[in-house]
């Protein structure tokens, strides 16, 4: 029982004793299937505050023979699995937090310091087998396996911190990769390696030979989707227990999606909101908005346009394959956007290959980043959006058209109107402040087709719903007619509040007043008795 070798279960014990604990022990069933297979090398990358360290503490509590965790897992999901007892506290576990070693090594080489610390504990347990004083960690583990036939499970937290925090130190990175490759690759003593970080492992130039790892990242978590954050059902249960509104929780913290689980919530933020009984921006990390601004301001053609499109509620198609999985080498705008996906600032739809801003919490991070300069025209549009929404709710058509004209003038150099889709992104940006009280839905199915934009009010706001149809070089009258003819209002049949129909047209040949607007109150048909 030690710090690194065969740790006890206090870390996971504290988690399950907490006021809010969501049972994620089903993850263990996934890792049990990988033990002593060709898939035993696992790298799970997620943003900060997404439960990576807690998962490692749970795995350590389950596998480590330095503790007895039967009571700790009693009643948990993993206890129902047939192989629960087979692996429970049966392995020598080595737990490494690379952030700790990077900080404590100081002037010493990180890997040398790590080996010294871990070997001290291994000698306490297996000293009779290790006669040489100069033996390295990998050689020591090989000797133990040769004599005892005992395999090790290695759990590595913050595996990529050296690449993130020592970006310019290529020599340090080379030493680190050589160390990991020698410690892990083709070694007979390895039963399972589970390491976590923010970045996936591949594509670090010539030192990318950690190719034995199976990668589970924010672009595809595969079997670990359910354990990446909180699922929709888990959040519903928490909202019911803490009497918090589920729809508003989703607008703040939902938006990450995978192939099977389409709604993944930021776990740390959900826990904070439930505990504090308040919706706010709780997502904090070392990659604060100053760092986000650096990436947003990178001079890649089309990057600013894509960010503005996403701020307006749109999606951007990207190629994630060219990203080299580091934070320095970018070749295209897609590389920057892919990094923002891994950092948690963007969501990703692997089916459509599109990226987007996931929720209100992250929108605030973008707004903070833009507020420090370089995005003045966009900030003016955002600040004017309160009045635009107010004018819309007052059915002041001329003021709405005038407000859209001004918004278009501000962002015309960034976001050009080429079609109704571009117009939709611009309208979403112009109504930016509406997201405080509304859920903005693009291409919402209703009646015979899809409404361009639906503004669905959050519960208890008392606001009317907005059904918005956009036209390009046609007329606002045609937009309103389409809403009625195709019966887009049917999508809101269950909505009991007031509904406004908003038709907007952009006339590219009218330089002075390109936008026109018609707003009508929808009269719901009387219910038959």
Q: What are phi and psi of 10, to 5 degrees?
A: -60, -40
Residue 388 exposure: Cα atoms within 13 Å on the Cβ side: 26
User: With respect to CATH, is domain 10-216 assigned 3.30.70?
Assistant: no
Which pLDDT does position 511 carry in this prediction?
81
Q: What three-state secondary structure class fits 305?
A: helix
Cα–Cα dist 339/400, whole Å: 37
The dihedral region occupied by 462, where left means phi > 0, alpha psi between -120 and 50, and beta the remainder, is: left
Cα–Cα dist 487/147, whole Å: 76
Q: Which residue has the tokens 């943003």?
A: 47
Which pLDDT does position 286 carry in this prediction?
43
Q: What angle, rounded to 10 degrees, do the helices at 110-126 and 137-148 form?
A: 30
Could you tell me where in the chain the CATH 3.40.1350 domains are found? Answer: 384-521
* Beta pairing, strands 41-45 & 214-216: parallel
- Reading the chain (529 residues) residue by residue, the pLDDT tens digits are 789 999 999 999 999 999 999 999 999 999 999 999 999 999 999 998 899 999 999 999 999 999 999 999 999 999 999 999 999 999 999 999 999 999 998 767 899 999 999 999 999 999 889 888 889 999 999 999 999 998 999 999 999 998 888 888 888 888 898 999 999 999 999 999 999 999 888 655 554 568 899 999 999 999 999 999 999 999 999 999 999 999 999 999 999 999 999 999 999 999 999 999 999 999 865 455 567 888 898 878 899 999 999 998 889 999 998 888 878 888 899 999 999 999 999 999 999 999 999 999 999 999 988 988 789 999 999 999 999 999 999 999 999 999 999 998 888 888 877 777 778 888 889 999 998 888 888 776 655 556 688 898 988 788 999 999 999 889 999 999 999 998 888 878 778 889 999 999 999 888 888 999 999 998 776 555 4
Cα–Cα dist 208/269, whole Å: 34
Which pLDDT does position 182 carry in this prediction?
94
The dihedral region occupied by 76, where left means phi > 0, alpha psi between -120 and 50, and beta the remainder, is: beta
* Residues forming a β-bridge with 467: 454, 501
Which pLDDT does position 202 carry in this prediction?
60
Token couple for 362: 């992250």
**List of residues 6+ apart from 2 with CB closer than 8 A:** 66, 121, 124, 125
Element (DSSP H or E) covering residue 117? helix 110-126
Q: Considering the domain 384-521 in this protein, what is its CATH number? A: 3.40.1350
Which pLDDT does position 205 carry in this prediction?
54
Could you tell me where in the chain the CATH 3.40.50 domains are found? Answer: 10-216
Nearest to 61 by CA among 43, 42, 88: 88
Nearest to 198 by CA among 282, 99, 125, 275: 99
Token couple for 405: 């004209």
Which pLDDT does position 449 carry in this prediction?
58
């Amino acid at each position: 029982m030690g710090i690194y070798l065969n740790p006890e279960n206090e870390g996971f014990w504290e988690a399950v004793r907490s006021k809010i604990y969501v049972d994620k022990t089903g993850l263990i069933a996934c890792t049990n299937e990988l033990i002593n297979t060709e898939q035993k090398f696992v790298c799970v990358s997620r943003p900060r505050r997404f439960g990576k360290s807690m998962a490692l503490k749970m795995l350590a509590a389950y596998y480590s023979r330095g503790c007895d965790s039967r009571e700790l897992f009693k009643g948990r999901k993993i206890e129902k699995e047939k192989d629960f007892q087979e692996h429970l506290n049966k392995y020598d576990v080595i737990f490494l937090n690379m952030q700790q070693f990077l900080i404590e090594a100081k002037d010493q080489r990180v890997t040398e310091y790590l080996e010294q610390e871990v070997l001290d504990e291994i000698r306490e347990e297996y000293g009779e087998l290790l006669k040489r004083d100069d033996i390295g960690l990998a050689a020591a583990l090989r000797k133990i396996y040769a004599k005892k036939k005992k395999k090790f499970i290695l759990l590595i937290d913050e595996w990529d911190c050296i690449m993130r925090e020592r970006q310019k130190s290529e020599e340090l990175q080379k030493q680190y990769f050589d160390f990991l490759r020698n410690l892990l690759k083709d070694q007979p003593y390895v039963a399972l390696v589970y390491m976590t970080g923010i970045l996936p492992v591949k594509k670090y130039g010539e030192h990318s030979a950690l190719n034995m790892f199976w990668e589970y990242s924010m672009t595809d978590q595969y079997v670990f989707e359910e354990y990446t954050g909180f699922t929709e059902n888990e959040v519903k249960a928490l909202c019911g227990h803490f009497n918090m509104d589920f729809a508003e929780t989703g607008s703040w913290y939902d938006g990450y999606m995978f192939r099977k689980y389409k709604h993944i919530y930021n776990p740390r933020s959900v826990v904070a909101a439930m505990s504090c009984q308040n919706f706010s921006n709780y997502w904090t990390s070392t990659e604060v908005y100053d760092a986000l601004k650096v990436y947003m301001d990178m001079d890649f053609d089309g990057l600013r346009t894509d960010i503005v499109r996403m701020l307006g509620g749109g999606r951007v198609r990207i190629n994630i394959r060219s990203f080299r999985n580091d934070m320095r080498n970018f070749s295209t705008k897609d590389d920057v956007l892919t990094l923002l996906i891994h950092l948690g600032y963007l969501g990703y739809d692997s089916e459509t290959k599109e990226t987007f801003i996931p929720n209100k919490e992250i929108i605030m991070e973008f707004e903070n980043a833009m507020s420090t300069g370089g995005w003045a025209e966009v900030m003016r549009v955002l600040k004017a959006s309160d009045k635009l929404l107010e004018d819309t709710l007052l059915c002041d058509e001329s003021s709405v058209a005038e407000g859209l004209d001004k918004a278009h003038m501000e962002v015309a150099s960034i976001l050009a109107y080429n079609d109704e889709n571009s117009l939709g992104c611009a309208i979403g940006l112009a109504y930016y402040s509406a997201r405080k009280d509304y859920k903005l839905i693009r291409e919402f199915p209703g009646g015979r087709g899809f409404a361009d934009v639906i503004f669905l009010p959050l519960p208890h706001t008392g606001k009317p719903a907005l059904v918005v149809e956009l036209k390009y070089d046609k007329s606002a009258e045609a937009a309103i007619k389409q809403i009625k003819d195709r019966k887009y209002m049917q999508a809101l049949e269950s909505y009991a509040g007031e509904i406004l129909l908003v038709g907007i047209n952009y006339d590219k040949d009218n330089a002075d007043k390109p936008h026109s607007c018609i707003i009508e109150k929808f009269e719901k048909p009387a219910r038959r008795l």
